[in-house]
Every structure is written in structure tokens, then in C-alpha cells.
Amino acid sequence: MSEAVFKETAAELRTEAVPLAHLSLELGHLYLEDFEAGPERLAGHFAEVRIWADAVRASVARRTRRPRISTCFLVDDYFTRFSAPADLIPMVLREAEKAGLVIDYLARESACAIADRVELAESVMHRLVESPPPGSCGFRPPVSQTGWLANGRRSPTMPAAALGGRAKGWEPPRETAARDHSIFMDVELWSEKDGRRLWSCPFLAAVWQLARLGLLRHLGLPVLTWTQWQGADFPHDWDRLPPLIKLTGTDAAFSAYRTCTLMSNRFLAVEDAVRLILDQVDVDAGALEQVARRSAAEGMPVPDAIAQRAAYVFYEEPLR
């Protein structure tokens, strides 16, 4: 005879679904010096990006009849507070429009750390699952203590005393999933200064990718959700600007099955680090299942590996 099992429904977290486009297309990610250089630098950036944006759109259109593509742009207000939204955002939108580009969604980079009182970066950090390389003995503290994440086995630094007094020669690092030869990476996720944690650019960019892929949740609820911007004027204080704003009337959702980022090749090392981080995040299982089921139903199934859902176009900047 089977026994009835009673459960508290409030104890079961339900993963809420989010709208999903086919592609989230990022029209650049710039540093402080790019904005300081003025409209001319932005004009050059968007003129180059327009070429590749058209190619990316054509590629998606080849795979689906009615592609849903949303565009986005990330402004750094985390590491530096250059200018004010009232001055910077109109300049960005104006130069993008001159190049024939439209920015649907604009986000503040600080929102990748904290948005709507949710500590997103901290939450993602607690979801990191390090891949223990073969032969590891647990001598090194976990990433939650060190703030460093690797894709394999680091060169041993264990003192001879811990090895029973036996001296040991140098050993090379080793990538866990190496093919013939290793490409070893060790990425700093944060630093500490005056008792404050400063998240690294690669780690915040990894959070940004997870948001664009529709995979961020807090207690089952979506986070970093957009606010429709209604006003004609932007505020003079970054903290008065919502974390993520929708600037157009597009029907394409902010999050998507896949992402593509168009940027200068000077960001290549940062994005390599981003992919390493994404490979070791234990993403919300409910969110993963929703994206997999819906993308397959539309004939555009996504790869199992999160990092493989993120594509890039790195363009060569002209010499100045």
C-alpha cells in the first residue's frame, strides 16, 4: 500500500520563466578612455560595429524566418563614474543612430554586482563549482576564499614539509580538458580594498552574459529585469537610473537563447576569462530546462555548455 506524502507548497521554489529572443546582440562594451575621447571615438566604434551587426543579423535570418533580435549596450558605472547619464547616454544613442544602429536595452555595469537589492555577483559566486583536476589533494583553499578560478591544475606550491620533507621539482600547470597540449588560465574574480570587495571585469561580464541568456534567478524569480524609459531627459546621478532600461518599443526580449557581442580585440583576454567562469557555474536547473525546451521547440536548440551559447566578433581598431 502506498503512503501519501504531504509537502508544503511554499517550500518548493518555482522557477519563473522569462521572455526570450533568438539573439541578444551587444553593440559594444567600452572603457572610460573611449567615452573621454568624445563623439569621434564612439562614431568610429559604431561605424565598425554596424558592418558586423548586419552580418550577424543575416546569419540568424538564415536559420529562422522571423528572427527576434534585441540589441543592448553596457555602460561602466562600477569601476568609474565618468560624466553623468544626462550627458553620456544621449551621446551614445546619437552616435549609434548616425551609424544606423538602434540600442533597445541599456544597462549599468554596477547592476551586475547589485540590482534591485539583490547581490547578483555574490549569488553567482556561490554557484561556482570548481572542476577538481586529476591528482588534486585539496591543499589550495576553494575559490570562495581565494577569489581565483582556474581551468585545471596549477603548478604545485606545497611546501616540502607537507610532502614529508621530500623536495619536489617544478611541475607545469595542466588544463583539465586539454587536447594534446594545455592552455592554462587562472582568473581573478575579485580583490579587496579597505574592506570592500571589488568584483573583476571578467566576473561582472560573466554575470552580464548569464542575464542576457535568461539564466539568472533569485529564489526562482528573474533578476535584472528591464524598466521602460519614458522620460525625455536622463538623470544627472547614475544611482537614479534603473539598472536596466528599455529604450525602444521592440517586441524582442532582452534575454535570448544565444548572445553575440561585438567589440574591439583588446577585450579578447577578458572574454576568454568570462568563458572559463561560465563553464564552472552551476546554473539554476529550472531556468536551463526552460531555455532548452523552448529553443528546441523553435528549431534552434542551444548547446549544453553555457559558454558555447555566447558568440563574439572582435574587430581590429585603427591605429591612432
Binned at pLDDT 50, 70 and 90, residue 32 comes out as confident
Distance CA 257, CA 217 (A): 16
Strand segments, DSSP code E, in the chain are 21-29, 69-75, 105-108, 148-150, 152-153, 174-175, 186-188, 190-193, 196-199, 217-218, 221-222, 227-228, 244-246, 256-264, 310-315
165-218 pLDDT, tens digit each = 565 677 888 888 788 888 899 999 999 988 889 999 999 999 999 999 999 999
Q: Which is nearest to 123 in space by CA: 112, 132, 131? A: 112
Q: What is the arrangement of strands in the sheet containing 310-315, beginning at the earlier edge strand?
A: 227-228, 244-246, 105-108, 69-75, 21-29, 256-264, 310-315
- Asked whether the predicted pLDDT for residue 5 surpasses 60, the reply is no
Q: Measured between alpha carbons, how far is 140 from 152 in angstroms, rounded to an integer?
A: 13
Q: Cα-atom radius of gyration of the chain, to the nearest Å?
A: 22
Per-residue model confidence as pLDDT tens digits over 81-100: 888 999 999 999 999 999 99
Count other Cβ atoms within 10 Å, centred on residue 268: 12
The whole-angstrom separation of Cα 274 and Cα 272 is 5
DSSP E strand boundaries for 18-146: 21-29, 69-75, 105-108
pLDDT category of residue 163 using cuts at 50, 70 and 90: low
- Find the mean pLDDT for residues 14-19: 94
Burial bucket for residue 136 (CB in 10 Å: 0-12, 13-18, 19+): middle
213-262 pLDDT per residue, tens: 999 999 999 999 999 998 779 999 999 999 999 999 999 999 999 999 99
